[in-house]
Amino acid sequence: MKKYLIAGLLVWLPLAITIWVLQAALGLLDGVFSWFLNAGKAVLPAAAEPAIDLLLKIPGLGVIVMLTGLLITGVFATNIVGQWWLRQGSRVLSKIPIVKSIYSSVKQVSDTLFSSSGNAFREAVLVQYPRSGSWTIAFVTGRPGGEAALHLPGEYLSVYVPTTPNPTSGFFLMVPRSDVVVLQMSVDEALKYVISMGVVAPPLHVPPAPAIAVAQPARN
């Protein structure tokens, strides 16, 4: 009986978690769309309220609208005119008290993480944490900068140590580069390893063996 229960759990648990995550993501998008529509009631005339209420009742419409909006925004932001308007908007937000602190901080982090030319979260490594001799997986986020770098002699790396099974929380460490072991596994494989608490081990990536020069027989 125990064997069959565990086998059934292994079948349904991944499916249930997948559905739960998708529902949470779709609910978030629908919530943002509903907020925009409800905010529009205060601006639009009263005759538009029945149409807004009808849109709120259509399931999945918020997801389609939000994804379409993100696509249009991406197209707008990648051309010269769109980039100019975005710079003007950022300049205005950077002058508003309180708002400028939040906006500038979030923008710097997002630009660093999602930039195609950046190195943040592009490499998985092993570091000793929380004590010497105990190893865990971490992700390289860059190099220490500012005042902190002045007090760190030698070459250091900034790494993020995720918690398990929820990798969205973790610890930020600055460790000597000599104490970091670079892994061949990808970031996705490392995340799966962390989330599964070490149960789902990634495949072993064996680096290619160096070419060996074969001595040629001497010719007379």
**176 neighbors 159 (Cβ within 8 angstroms):** no
Residue 83, C-beta contacts closer than 8 angstroms, at least 6 positions apart: 77
CA atoms of 134 and 156, how far apart (whole Å): 19
Give residue 47's pLDDT.
74
CA atoms of 160 and 170, how far apart (whole Å): 7
User: Could you give all domains of the chain from N- to C-terminal order, each with its CATH number?
Assistant: 2-78 (no CATH), 88-117 (no CATH), 124-195 (2.30.30)
* Other CB atoms within 10 Å distance of the CB of residue 124: 23
Give residue 115's pLDDT.
58
CA atoms of 65 and 28, how far apart (whole Å): 13
Give residue 159's pLDDT.
92
CA atoms of 32 and 48, how far apart (whole Å): 19
pLDDT 10s per residue in the chain (220 long)? 777 788 788 778 778 888 887 788 777 777 777 787 777 777 777 777 777 777 777 777 777 877 888 888 888 878 888 888 888 888 887 788 887 777 777 776 666 556 555 556 788 999 999 888 899 999 998 888 888 888 998 899 999 999 888 887 899 999 999 999 999 888 888 888 888 888 888 887 666 544 444 444 455 4
For residue 12 the two structure tokens come to: 């349904």
For residue 57 the two structure tokens come to: 């009742």
The residue to which tokens 């943002």 are assigned? 32
Q: How far apart are the first and last CA of the chain?
A: 79
Angle of helix 99-114 versus helix 80-93 axis, rounded to 10: 140
